[in-house]
Amino acid sequence: MQFMLLFSRQGKLRLQKWYVPLSDKEKKKITRELVQTVLARKPKMCSFLEWRDLKIVYKRYASLYFCCAIEDQDNELITLEIIHRYVELLDKYFGSVCELDIIFNFEKAYFILDEFLLGGEAQETSKKNVLKAIEQADLLQEDTKEAETPRSVLEEIGLT
């Protein structure tokens, strides 16, 4: 996979993951063009289209478009499954995920994606394992935060 974009029906970007090195300007240009192309497609059209020298696989879930750019030798149908798996992960994590969840917790959406895909390929094929890893990492985040507060208070009153 070369990149994945999530955008709303109005064309607002909600997530962008790039697995190829491109300048900011190029990324913006690609995003703008691709968003326009995908939004122009009618509902009866198939989920695949050819764009530049890439294959684009996209699927709409409620108000969000999930759009991946894959290479010639990649399997389009399994990419649809990859997209679906990601949505399932988000759904499990947020509990019936909606666009607002992704807007307000975009960093979490990235963390989840980074536990599922690495360098554009799936690193874990078990839903359970991905969610477990995220859970553990979240706990680690909580732990360190908790560990902070007591210490600083004690420091403040000069008792450590």
Partner 1 sequence: MPAPIRLRELIRTIRTARTQAEEREMIQKECAAIRSSFREEDNTYRCRNVAKLLYMHMLGYPAHFGQLECLKLIASQKFTDKRIGYLGAMLLLDERQDVHLLMTNCIKNDLNHSTQYVQGLALCTLGCMGSSEMCRDLAGEVEKLLKTSNSYLRKKAALCAVHVIRKVPELMEMFLPATKNLLSEKNHGVLHTSVVLLTEMCERSPDMLAHFRKLVPQLVRILKNLIMSGYSPEHDVSGISDPFLQVRILRLLRILGKGDDDSSEAMNDILAQVATNTETSKNVGNAILYETVLTIMDIKSESGLRVLAINILGRFLLNNDKNIRYVALTSLLKTVQTDHNAVQRHRSTIVDCLKDLDVSIKRLRAMELSFALVNGNNIRGMMKELLYFLDSCDPEFKADCASGVFLAAEKYAPSKRWHIDTIMRVLTTAGSYVRDDSVPNLIQLITNSVEMHAYTVQRLYKALLDDISQQPLVQVASWCIGEYGDLLLSGQCEEEEPIQVTEDEVLDVLEGLLVSNLSTPVTRGYSLTAIMKLSTRFSSVNRIKKVVSIYGSSIDVELQQRAVEYNALFKKYDHMRPALLERMPIMEKTASNGPTEIVQTNGETEPSVVEPKHPPPVNQPASQGNDLLDLLGGNDVPVIQTTMPTKPASAGGELLDLLGDLSLGGPAPAPAPPAPASQPPFLLDGLSSQPLFNDIAAAGEAAYNKNGLKIDFTFERANPNPNVAVITIHASNSTEADMTDFVFQAAVPKTFQLQLLSPSSNVVPALNQGTVTQVIRVLNQQKQQLRMRIKLTYTHKGSAVQDLAEVNNFPPQSWQ
Specify the stretch interacting with partner 1 by CB under 8 A; choose among 60-68, 89-97, 135-143: 135-143
Chosen residue from 10, 25, 40, 44 binding partner 1 by CB under 8 A: 44
25 binds partner 1 (CB under 8 A): no
Is the Cβ of residue 118 or residue 153 nearer to partner 1 in the bound state? Answer: 118
The CB-of-80 to partner 1 minimum distance in angstroms stands at: 6
148 binds partner 1 (CB under 8 A): yes
Residue 51 CB-half CA count within 13 A: 20
How would DSSP label each residue in 4-55?
Answer: EEEEETT--EEEEEE-S---HHHHHHHHHHHHHHHHTS-TTS-SEEEETTEE
What's the per-residue H, E or C state across 146-159?
A: HHHHHHHHHHHCCC
SS3 (DSSP) at 31: helix
103 binds partner 1 (CB under 8 A): yes
Phi, psi of 53 (to 5 degrees): -105, 20
One-letter amino acid for residue 19 of the chain: Y
Is the Cβ of residue 95 or residue 106 nearer to partner 1 in the bound state? Answer: 106
Footprint of partner 1 (CB under 8 A)? 13-16, 18-19, 21-23, 28, 41, 44-50, 73, 75-78, 80-82, 85, 103-104, 106-107, 110-111, 114-115, 118-119, 121-129, 133, 136-137, 140-141, 143-145, 148
